[in-house]
Structure 1
């Protein structure tokens, strides 16, 4: 089957896609290396992408369902992600880096929805993301420091 969609702001048309191809496999075939898969059961959040600006788990969605829609991966959000990924790295929360794209995608979604979340709201929003290295506190501290930096008033 043919699939046409917008991927990171550009039109993509792939003429021969098997009907059982997941969106995850489709995106990886298009060179989107940020999309990871850690469980294939919709439990880890590593495969998160935006479908029409809404976060979805690409490992549990057929590519055919994305036809005609706008799909955005981390590759398409570099400028927005650059605002806060350094804060997460400063907290040592990117030890192996495998979970980072999913955390970044979900943090962007959270901040778009709620620009000033509490720590509990951050934890709840990111609870579906798997991280085996850092124990989540580093990500929380990094996001909190980023949010606090946006509130700081420059000294005259």
Structure 2
């Protein structure tokens, strides 16, 4: 009967050791979740600041309207934080969608003069048609997202 108690004691020790190991692993998971949440919050803070800067630059004429709208849309897509209620930024999505087919960088340089003119005309039309809406949305964003 003596062996029976030793087996129970050994089993209990193994269970306690496994429980302690499981607790250690869960603490690591909780710490990683906390670190991930802090990193996301820091990223959202940085993106929020970048959005405000580009919106203000757009209003000051330092950034072309179409380029600013596209940049803001991309930053908003990556921003996961809270947004102020009633903040309407759909104009940036519309401009982005209507200009998504336009080549950039080297592909733009590789276009013929006629193709570039077509794209420039489209951008001028979009800018003319949506300028007031873009400026209103940029004013709202320049005040912050929340």
Structure 2 length-normalised TM: 0.23
Q: Give the number of the structure whose residues are more often strand, by fraction.
A: 1
Which protein has the larger Cα radius of gyration, Structure 1 or Structure 2? 2
Higher relative contact order by CA 8 Å / sep ≥ 6: 1 or 2? Answer: 2
